[in-house]
């Protein structure tokens, strides 16, 4: 049954989920878990918090799915909707606590960043630099370069025009480069 549902189109899965089909929603969950988790993790910098927030993203989406499924009938809107819910929960998270750089625990606990760092020596520095970016720049860097969404999808999630996301992309990269260069200079 689950195998069959995994073959369903996203639109069909959405319709089933909107009617209360948890299995269909489970398929959607599997499809988008990783990228939502990444987005949340690079935004909050805490893997435990990221897991909680990610789980909350899918719970909140489920609760509002019937209404949203009628309003946004195509799947790309659902993806964007997930990101917007995640963004709102990240904002809520930062309202509760001060923004903080990516903790060291992330690297030691999961070994993920170490793996990345093995591929690219500046990975650790890069993650810290992202955490220092302002919110808009963080979002566009994560969406566009880490999760590799298109300009159009980024514009949909961030509720901006495509042209505005291009400008934002350039400025975010410039700012990221500055931060990395400054940290490199300080390190020397």
Partner 1 sequence: MSRQKHARSIDEALAECLDALEHGESALQDRLAQYPEYRQQLLELLSLRQPLASLGQLSPRRAFAESAKQELMAKLPDRSAASRPPLSRLWQFRLPVFRLRAGTLISALAILTVIFLVTHGVHRAASAAGPGDLLYGLNLKLEHVQKLLTRDAKAATRLRLDLANKRLAEVQDELEDGDIGNALIALQGYKDEMAAVIEIIYNTSGPERYALLDYLARTRLEHLDILRLVLAKVPASAQSAVQHAIEASGSGDDLPISRPEAVPSDRPDDGEPWEEAALPEPPLGTPEGSPVTGTPRSDSPEAPIELPAGPPVGLPILPGPPTDRPAAGADAPKKTVPTIESGPRVATPIPPRVPTPPIESGPPAERSAPPTGGRPPEARPPANPPGPAENPAPPADLGGPPEQPGPPPDARPSEPGPPANLPGPPDRPSPPGGRP
Q: Which of 63, 92, 104, 114 binds partner 1 (CB under 8 A)?
A: 63
114 binds partner 1 (CB under 8 A): no
Burial tier of 30 (Cβ tally within 10 Å: 0-12, 13-18, 19+): exposed
- Given 10, 15, 147, 160, the residue binding partner 1 (CB under 8 A): 147
Instruction: Give alpha helix (H) positions in the chain.
Output: 2-6, 10-18, 22-44, 47-63, 65-71, 75-96, 104-110, 112-119, 123-132, 135-140, 151-158, 162-187
Show the binding pattern over residues 74-103: x = contacts partner 1 (CB under 8 A), - = does not.
Answer: ------------------------------
Measured between alpha carbons, how far is 149 from 128 in angstroms, rounded to an integer? 22
Q: Given the rule CB under 8 A, which residues bind partner 1?
A: 19-20, 22, 25-26, 29-30, 33-34, 37-38, 41-42, 47, 50-51, 54-55, 58-59, 62-63, 65-66, 110, 112-113, 115-116, 119-120, 122-123, 126-127, 130, 141, 145-148, 151, 166-167, 169-170, 173-174, 176-177, 180
């Amino acid at each position: 049954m689950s195998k069959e549902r995994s073959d369903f189109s996203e639109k069909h899965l959405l319709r089933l989920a909107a009617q209360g089909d948890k299995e269909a929603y489970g398929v959607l969950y599997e499809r988008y878990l990783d990228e939502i988790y990444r987005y949340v993790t690079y935004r909050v910098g805490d893997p435990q918090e990221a897991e909680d927030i990610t789980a909350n993203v899918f719970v909140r989406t489920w609760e509002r799915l019937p209404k949203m499924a009628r309003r946004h009938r195509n799947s790309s809107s659902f993806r964007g909707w997930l990101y917007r819910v995640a963004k709102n929960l990240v904002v809520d998270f930062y309202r509760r606590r001060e923004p903080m750089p990516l903790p060291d625990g992330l690297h030691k606990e999961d070994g993920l960043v170490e793996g990345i760092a093995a591929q690219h020596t500046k990975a650790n520095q890069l993650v810290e630099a992202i955490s220092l970016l302002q919110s808009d720049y963080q979002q566009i860097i994560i969406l566009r370069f880490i999760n590799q969404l298109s300009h159009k999808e980024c514009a949909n999630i961030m509720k901006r025009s495509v042209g505005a996301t291009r400008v934002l992309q350039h400025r975010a990269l410039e700012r990221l480069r500055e931060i990395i260069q400054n940290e490199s200079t300080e390190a020397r």
